[in-house]
Amino acid sequence: MAYVHRIGTKSFVFADLKELMAKATPPRSGDMLAGIAAATAEENVAAKMCLAEVPLKAFLSQALVPYETCEVTRLILDSHDAAAFAPVSAMTVGDFRDFLLSHEATSEVLAGLAPGLTPEMAAAVSKIMRNQDLILAAKKCRVVTRFRNTIGLPGTMAVRLQPNHPTDDAAGVSAAILDGLLYGCGDAVIGINPASDSLPVIERLLKLMDEVITRFEIPTQSCVLTHVTTSIGLMERGAPVDLVFQSIAGTQGANRSFGIDLKLLAEGADAARTLKRGTVGQNAMYFETGQGSALSAGEHHGVDQQTLEARAYGVARAFNPLLVNTVVGFIGPEYLYDGKQIIRAGLEDHFCGKLLGVPLGVDVCYTNHAEADQDDMDTLLTLLGAAGVTYIMGIPGADDVMLNYQSTSFHDALYIREVLGLKRAPEFEAWLERMDITAPDGRLLPADARHPLLGYVAGRAA
């Protein structure tokens, strides 16, 4: 079905809903690479105006990626909760924006609505929202998850401690874990991207983290970010797997390029749940996503990258994850060209995830071949802090020496807590105070050379 929008004497024609969505998307290099972006600034706004008049219901009858050939579309439409959708079922996309920003759309109302919203609806409304709208609406969405602590409570923000090392060296990883803990980071997860996909190496890393968590009774969880099949294999060997990780995307084909499908994710989730390693909850999955992955795999079906990213959150929410994060600037300038595009995408991803009920964190990051720098990351971090982001990454000095990109540092986390008064997960906050790492106000205490964590790492490195 074609959509037409008139501005004065000009008619803008969009062949179908997919084309309308793509042309309404704020400009980014990935959609240009795919050849689906608006040709002019005026066409971009005409598409937004046209999209604002589309009924939300249209997304239930017009699949952007075919139902017959994509299991992600089937998951989204088959699990749609019509009762939850009822309060907004008569709205257009434009009405829905007005509603989200109204005082009537409280945290409770939005939480009730989430199962009735599809990723495409979230993506559509985000396209006609300004950055401040994305911040305000996301701030109202609350998604709380639990494993060994409670993540996502209002007024809190968690940090993933990311102690990567270029050769997975145990002493090097331990040193970075120590650095992060003594800077008050690690409540979301202590999560390592391994350089190797060797089972014995990954098992050693899991044991290393399990030991430090157990020894110091840290209320947090660990994860080695390896393929779900590897985690399943490790669990079968009896390795201490807390969270099962997987990169996911918004189409069946893109997921196939990651070597996964929904059935495999379900197997991973079942295996993790069976271990029952959580103490205050059993949200045991950790997913990563990022705009552009479907196009990168040649599996985008002509759909814009932001909509496909929202569909990845549709996949994530089916498995009750503890954490989901968009690695927003990692993919490179061919998808998000510069700081402006990365900032916009980070806010869109966070809003869409939260609206859909997913515990969304953001890897505020960029690569050295993108037109971006630390100033852009400071801006995005501050905006996301204001938007109530679930968690960010914490990397020594913001420099990931294994993955070769720049993200946020332990210092950045302290900065945003200082500026916005954000607390850590309560169990972790209490642990830091108990360990004499922080004062009751959450600020770091002067570091003590006799701290038991230092002795522990020194002993292990010897």
Partner 1 sequence: MIARDPWAAFSRHTPARIALGRTGASLPTDEVLRFALAHAQARDAVHTPFDADGVAGEVKSLGFATLRVSSAAPARDIYLRRPDLGRRLCDESRATLAAAAGDPVDLALVVADGLSSAAIHAQTKPFLAAFKPFIAQQGWSHAPVVIASGARVALGDEVGALLKARACVLLVGERPGLSSPDSLGLYLTFDPQVGRTDAERNCISNVRPDGLSFEAAAFKLAWHIREALRRRITGVELKDESDLLLEDGRAPTLLGGG
Binding residues among 180-239 for partner 1 as defined by CB under 8 A: 182, 195-201, 227, 229-230, 233
**Amino acid at position 180, single letter:** G
Of 59, 286, 337, 431, which lies in the binding site for partner 1, with binding defined by CB under 8 A?
Answer: 337
How many residues lie near partner 1 (CB under 8 A)?
72
Q: DSSP string of 267-305?
A: HHHHHHHHH---SS----EEEEE-TTHHHHTT--TT--H
Gap between the Cα atoms of 60 and 111, Å rounded = 20
> Comparing C-alpha atoms, which of 385, 382, 269, 251 is closest to residue 310?
251
Smallest gap from Cβ 293 to partner 1, in A, equals 10
User: Which letter does DSSP use for residue 323 in this model?
Assistant: E
Positions in 287-306 near partner 1 (CB under 8 A): 296-298
Q: Which of residues 180 and 278 has its CB atom nearest to partner 1 in the complex?
A: 180
Name the residue nearer to partner 1 (CB basis): 116 or 268.
268
- Residue showing tokens 């952007």: 64
How near is the Cβ of 209 to partner 1 at its closest, in Å? 16
Residues contacting residue 95 through CB under 8 Å, at least 6 positions apart: none
Residue 169 vs 270, nearer CB to partner 1: 169
Closest by CA to 225, choosing from 250, 196, 183, is 196
Q: One-letter amino acid identity for 421?
A: G
Which one of 168-176, 213-221, 283-291, 354-362 is the stretch in contact with partner 1 (CB under 8 A)?
168-176
Residue 321 CB, nearest approach to partner 1 (Å) = 21
417 binds partner 1 (CB under 8 A): yes
Min dist CB 394 to partner 1, Å, is: 12
β-pairing verdict for 3-7 and 10-14: antiparallel
Minimum CB distance to partner 1, residue 120 (Å):
25
Q: How far is the CB of 388 from partner 1 (least distance, A)?
A: 20
- In the bound state with partner 1, the residue whose beta carbon lies nearer, of 277 and 417, is 417
**In the complex with partner 1, which residue's Cβ is closer, 8 or 238?**
238
Rg of the chain over Cα atoms, rounded to whole angstroms, equals 22
- The only residue of 117, 121, 414, 425 in contact with partner 1, by rule CB under 8 A: 414
Q: Which CB atom, from 134 or from 224, has the smaller least distance to partner 1?
A: 224
Near partner 1 in 252-271, by CB under 8 A:
256-259
Question: Which residue lies nearer to partner 1 by CB, 52 or 457?
Answer: 457
Question: Is 98 among the residues that bind partner 1 (CB under 8 A)?
Answer: no
Cβ distance to partner 1 smaller for residue 44 or 407: 407
Instruction: Please give the residues from 36 up to 75 whose contact with partner 1 meets the rule CB under 8 A.
Output: none
Whole-number minimum distance, CB 33 to partner 1, in Å?
A: 7
Three-state SS at 242: coil
Calpha distance 76→21 (Å, rounded): 18
- Say if CB 365 and CB 330 are below 8 A apart: yes
What is the Cα–Cα distance from 186 to 435, expressed in whole angstroms?
14
Q: Which residues are within 8 A (CB) of 265 and not within 5 positions of it... i.e. 6 or more apart?
A: 228, 246, 248, 285, 315, 318, 319
Can you tell me the distance from the alpha carbon of 436 to that of 431, in angstroms, rounded to the nearest whole number?
9
Quick one: which of 152, 158, 130 has its CA closest to 429? 158
Q: Is 397 in the site for partner 1 (CB under 8 A)?
A: yes
421 contacts partner 1 (rule: CB under 8 A):
no
